[in-house]
Amino acid sequence: MSEFKTVFGSLENYEKGHIEIIDDDPKAYAFSNIFEVANQSAPYEKVVVGKNLKYVIETLRAEGDSDWYTCAHDEFVVCMDGEIEVHLVKLNNSASYTPENKEGSVKLESDPEGPKMGRIILRHGHQALLPKGSAYRFSNRKKPGVLIMQTICGDHSVEKWAEICYS
């Protein structure tokens, strides 16, 4: 029986992603290393690293403060490296920020109006729900970190497949 060892990566220590072809067409697959993608991304740029129909996994370089965002559906975020704060506000009138038929995250033009829901401190492996009807902002004042986010592809989802897969 083969022995496998799990190695957790970080922005400071990761292996370049690769795929192993097993008698199939490599064009049917995309493999990306989230740390490599985040290392080459602007802070809080939502780069798509996985896609299934309209659903996506995005990776974000967590550095400084993000803009405020909201969404017409729940989103989930997982901290893969670093320590990142998530600030949440319950929107007074979420429909005025996000139309029901709008999918993916929506950047707010100003600070959200509504009661503060609190903050979540995410560390390696921690997950948070970003609920429908709320606004969220990420903050990281320490060394850059990495988040992955499960959402629906939207206006702020950046697809860089050629850059990711062929570099």
Identify the pLDDT of residue 15: 73
Task: For residues 3 and 22, give the distance between their C-alpha atoms in angstroms, rounded to a whole number.
Answer: 20
Nearest to 60 by CA among 44, 77, 76: 44
Helical spans, DSSP H, in 19-71? 34-39
Chain length of the chain? 167
pLDDT tens digit sequence for 106-119: 999 999 999 999 99
Q: Report in angstroms the alpha-carbon separations of 33 from 15, 53, 91.
A: 8, 21, 35
Query: By CB neighbour count within 10 A (0-12 exposed, 13-18 middle, 19+ buried), where does 96 fall?
Result: exposed
Residue 2: predicted pLDDT:
66
pTM score: 0.80
d(CA 37, CA 33): 6
The fold of the 26-165 domain, in CATH, is Jelly Rolls (2.60.120)
What pLDDT score was predicted for residue 32?
Answer: 52
Residues in the chain predicted with pLDDT less than 50, given as ranges, are 30
**Amino acid symbol at 7:** V
What lies within 8 Å, CB to CB, of 45 at 6+ separation is 60, 61, 158
Query: 41 pairs with which residues across the strands?
Result: none
Q: How confident is the model at residue 28, as a pLDDT? A: 53
In the chain, where the domains are located: 26-165
